[in-house]
Amino acid sequence: MPPIASVDVPASSANLGSGFDCFAAALSLKLRAELHDGDETGIVLNARGEGAPRDDQPAGENLLIRAFREGLRASMAPGAGAWRLEVSSMIPSARGLGSSAAAIVAGLVLGAAVGRRQVGADELLALAARLEGHPDNVAAALYGGFTVAVGDGDGITLRRFKAPETWIPVAFIPQAEARTRDMRAALPPSVDHAAAARQAGRSALLATAIMTSDAGLLAAAMVDELHQPYRIPRLAGAAELMELARDRGAAGVCLSGSGPTVLAICDSPVTAHAVEKAWNAAGMAGMAARLRFDTGGARLEAAD
């Protein structure tokens, strides 16, 4: 039987250097989730793929199931239901590529698709940010492209930008994992005021580079003083990979999220190939991959 609904959700890379906790970009690695009628009341999850949500977790702890239930509630779906979720993912977990954000968005979108009430994208974003704890990755996963999402007591202010057509993301995805909570713990409780001021300027420069497709600004715009200096020493090989990408002509380079993945943005296929080749030849445990920026975000298909 065909699914009741299915959704494809992209990976995401947050921070992009100077855009700490607000900037993100959607990437071409995908999580796919299908919703089927179940055989008995409750939710059954079957997951596969390197980054698939673990189906052996209790339902109350699994992010995708929690998000699915939130989507059901938001859309005023009938109280009792029999559901089966089939999930496959290309997004490796605990690598700084938004695997949890993709699971949250997939669950919410599918839950919202089967109720009596239509749930708008802004409401989905607010629900996703609450489950994830911050809006950056979930915004890119939901909307695609480059996003800037700033949350405060009054909600989330979001702007989405098209990915410049000539920009090519190249990622080095290590075999070793790095948990976001551990990387958060590496950050100091306060930063120097002058460093914060420089960071604000670079973040504005990053937005300008994206809006104007000016890759020449990225080298300066993606420099970071708020999180990378504290995280890079804990990530074996990250500093060397970043320097290697710059030497091969990458327009900008950063940790993807909190790492350990390193992301380079290149402005030509020649440069992207050079960075990918150099990273794969560096002898580090992991894999370099030339990706694409996703432009569509979460894509829902529902049965008629």
Using CA atoms, how far apart are residues 17 and 206, in angstroms rounded to an integer?
Answer: 9
**Residue 149 in tokens:** 């999402």
Residues 199 and 155 in one domain: no
Residue 140 confidence (pLDDT)? 98
Residues 154 and 195 in one domain: no
Residues 172 and 127 in one domain: no
Taking 80 as the threshold, does the pLDDT of residue 51 lie above it? no
- Tell the residue number behind the tokens 């979720």, with chain if given: 85
**Residue 300 in tokens:** 């829902």
Residue 280's alpha-carbon distances to 12, 92, 242, 262, in angstroms, are 22, 18, 13, 13
Confidence of residue 261 (pLDDT cuts 50, 70, 90): very high
Taking 80 as the threshold, does the pLDDT of residue 303 lie above it? no
Higher-pLDDT residue of 245 and 79 is 245
Closest to 173 measured CA to CA, from 270, 238, 244 = 238
Q: How do residues 175-186 score in pLDDT, each as one tens digit?
A: 999 888 889 899
Q: Give the phi and the psi of residue 121 in degrees, each rounded to 5.
A: -65, -40
Structural domain harbouring 67: 5-162+294-302
Q: How do residues 5-25 score in pLDDT, each as one tens digit?
A: 999 999 999 999 999 999 999
Query: Which helix (H) or strand (E) segment is 211 a member of?
Result: helix 193-212
Using CA atoms, how far apart are residues 97 and 9, in angstroms rounded to an integer?
Answer: 12
Taking 60 as the threshold, does the pLDDT of residue 164 lie above it? yes
Q: Give the phi and the psi of residue 188 in degrees, each rounded to 5.
A: -75, 160
Beta carbons within 8 Å of 120's beta carbon, 6+ residues apart = none
Residues 145 and 175 in one domain: no
Report the SS3 class of residue 180. Answer: helix
Residues 151 and 174 in one domain: no
Residues 176 and 51 in one domain: no
Q: Is the pTM of this model over 0.85?
A: yes
Residues 86 and 187 in one domain: no
Taking 60 as the threshold, does the pLDDT of residue 228 lie above it? yes
For residue 115, give the CATH number of its domain: 3.30.230.10
Residues 225 and 243 in one domain: yes
Residues 37 and 146 in one domain: yes
Residue 57 confidence (pLDDT)? 52
How many domains does the chain fold into? Answer: 2
Residues 12 and 153 in one domain: yes
Residue 198 confidence (pLDDT)? 97
Residues 99 and 187 in one domain: no
Using CA atoms, how far apart are residues 3 and 88, in angstroms rounded to an integer?
Answer: 14
**Residue 36 in tokens:** 């089927």
Taking 60 as the threshold, does the pLDDT of residue 71 lie above it? yes
Taking 60 as the threshold, does the pLDDT of residue 163 lie above it? yes
| Tally: H helices and E strands in the chain | 10, 11
Residue 179 confidence (pLDDT)? 86
Q: What is the CA radius of gyration of the chain?
A: 19
DSSP 293: B
Residues 158 and 274 in one domain: no
For residue 277, give the CATH number of its domain: 3.30.70.890
Packing angle of the helix pair 121-132, 63-74 (nearest 10 deg): 140
